[in-house]
Every structure is written in C-alpha cells, then in structure tokens.
Amino acid sequence: MRILLVEPRFEHGVITYKERNSPFSKIYTNPSITLPMVAAVTPGNHQIRIVNENYEDLNLNDDYDLVGISVLTMTALRAYELADLFREKGVTVVLG
C-alpha cells in the first residue's frame, strides 16, 4: 500500500522557522514528530512518504492508496482542502 502522510502548511500569518525574523511573523514552528512516529509504527510492507508543506511542495498528482493528514486548529482549513482533493480522486483520507 502506498501511504502519504501530510502536515499541512501554516497559513494566515503563521510562519515557519525559516521566516522567523520577518516583521510579520506571529509564530514559528519546528517540524512535528507526529508523522514520523506514525510511519515508525506502520508495518514495513507499506511504502510511506511524509510531506511537511511548510518545507516542501506537495505533488497532488502522485497516486496513493491512503492519505493521512495531521490537523491542528490553525491548519484545519488547508487540511480539509487537501482531504477534499484526495477524496475526489477516490483516495481514502484519514485526519487526526
């Protein structure tokens, strides 16, 4: 099974560590360990890709059997948007 684990990008004035010195910064974040932990306990016969949108672009054209999206209140709108895009392609999506 091909599994994609996604941490949606922060939006609405929330920025990443790379942009922390911006005069418009409100918060910066270190990468979460949530998705690597999920990947670590997933049986080894699955192919897993982890994408943190704060650090790299997500290719929506790749094929996956399952997409897991980590959701925080401040990333919820983007998480729902991604979930809808993958569900339209017939992919099972899990948010948590």
DSSP string, 8-60: PPP-TT---GGGTTSTT-----PPPSHHHHHHHTS-TTSEEEEEETTTS---T
- For the chain, the domains span 2-95
Query: Which residue is associated with the tokens 């942009």?
Result: 19
What is the pLDDT tens value at each position of the chain, 96 positions in all? 999 999 998 776 555 666 666 665 555 566 789 999 999 999 999 999 999 998 899 999 999 999 999 998 888 999 999 999 999 999 999 999
Tokens of 86: 């993958």
Distance CA 45, CA 70 (A): 22
CATH architecture of 2-95: 3-Layer(aba) Sandwich (3.40)
| The model's pTM | 0.83
